[in-house]
Amino acid sequence: MQLPKHPNLSRTSTSRKPHHESPALHHDNYPLQLTMPWGLWSDAPSQSPNGTGSSDSTSPAPPSSSIPPSAYTAPAPLSSSSSPLIPPPPTLLSNKKDKPVSWNDSLNATDWAHYAEPRNWIPTAIAVVAALGLHQFYRSYLRRLPGTGHVSPGYFRKRSLLGKVTSVGDGDNFHLFHTPGGRLAGWGWLRKVPAGKKEVRGRTIPIRLAGIDAPEGAHFGRTAQPFSGEALSFLQSFISGRRVRAYIYKRDQYDRIVATVFVRKPPFFWPRKDVGLEMIRRGLATTYEAKSGAEFGSKRAEEMYRHAEEESRRKGRGMWSLERGGWFGKAKGTVESPREYKTRVKLEERAAGEKK
């Protein structure tokens, strides 16, 4: 026995899709029952113009393929009482196109009121300022300078160099391995200072002691001055292998950094001692004599150096002992200062060159 077909399902039963499938694109010429999973809502009886329901309950509907697209109509919405188990259909997307946004409107699209609150931008500003401050602090105080070429002219008279003396070449100059930050930055216990000559080659800064001139040694075939060896020995024992602080002033003609150097001596390490001043007090150096280019760091330092030289000369210390009379009427000698020595040697070499 063949069961009669349901009149309201006659047009949708052949084209209904499973409930789990995605809906197809909407088209105005096709019924929602054929493309949407919620086609079951069309089961409600359509109302006639006179308000009565459709009486076509016995005649079967023609196949869906023979019905023209224009014959389909959108299903009428169901009331809450007609089918309580079927959820309402989802909201259909609007066919209206989005209104285009002009270029000027897009520029003003940012909600700047968000940045008016201090709590939103103050943490960022603090972080940026702190990062810039740390970078500047590192460049000024923690960045190691491996040579004279890395010492900027802006450092002169504004910065000091803390480092370890690796070698002493003469009575008034030495080489410094820059250790910025000292022990607080880990030098000596976390970061080691190279000890060998090969390891420090090209990694040190030559320092010329400011305001003094020590006796010249035997260089380039020249004879050494008296007390040049004593001056070299004292400087080596006084600062070699020790940490010193150099207050830099300028770069000389030999690409050395002219500086006043201080060292702390055990056991108390205080007060610190001016290396150049200590050499003058012992008669192992004179104040720097030049018509131009003399550098003491300050007028007070120059006066202190000259006063120490006068006292050392009066007491006959070091090289000034040659000016004092000896026992049994020994004649009083004269002392040739390092400046006088260099001037005399240059004249002799120039005269020898002219004869050739």
Neighbours of 181 (CB within 10 A): 15
Helix, strand, coil fractions of the chain, as percent rounded to 5: 35, 15, 50
Note if the bond before 68 is cis, omega within 30 degrees.
Answer: no
Residue 250 located in a structural domain = yes
pLDDT per residue, tens digit, the chain (356 aa), is: 455 555 554 444 444 544 444 444 454 554 444 445 544 444 544 444 444 444 444 445 544 445 555 555 555 555 544 455 666 555 544 555 566 766 666 666 566 776 778 888 888 899 999 999 988 888 777 889 999 999 999 999 999 999 999 999 999 999 999 999 998 889 988 888 888 888 999 999 999 999 999 999 988 888 999 999 999 999 999 999 999 999 999 999 999 999 999 999 887 777 899 999 999 999 999 999 887 778 999 999 999 999 999 999 999 999 999 887 555 444 567 889 999 999 999 998 888 888 76
Handedness of CA 75, 79, 80, 83 (dihedral sign): negative
Residue 116 located in a structural domain = no
Q: Are residues 194 and 337 in the same domain?
A: yes
Q: Residue 214 belongs to a domain with what CATH number?
A: 2.40.50.90
Locus of tokens 């060292």: 263
Residue 36 located in a structural domain = yes
Neighbours of 22 (CB within 10 A): 6
Residues involved in catalysis: 208, 216, 256
Residue 310 located in a structural domain = yes
Q: pTM of the full predicted structure?
A: 0.63
Residue 149 located in a structural domain = no
Locus of tokens 């008296």: 226
Final residue belonging to a domain, choices 22, 48, 73: 73
Largest CA distance in the chain: 161
Final residue belonging to a domain, choices 53, 73, 93: 73
Residue 242 located in a structural domain = yes
Tokens of 154: 């802006």
Q: Are residues 179 and 307 in the same domain?
A: yes
Residue 91 located in a structural domain = no
Q: Distance between CA atoms of 12 and 7, rounded to whole angstroms?
A: 10
247: containing domain:
159-324+332-355
Residue 90 located in a structural domain = no
180: nearest Cα among 138, 240, 151, 148: 138
Final residue belonging to a domain, choices 51, 73, 95: 73
For the chain, the domain total comes to 2
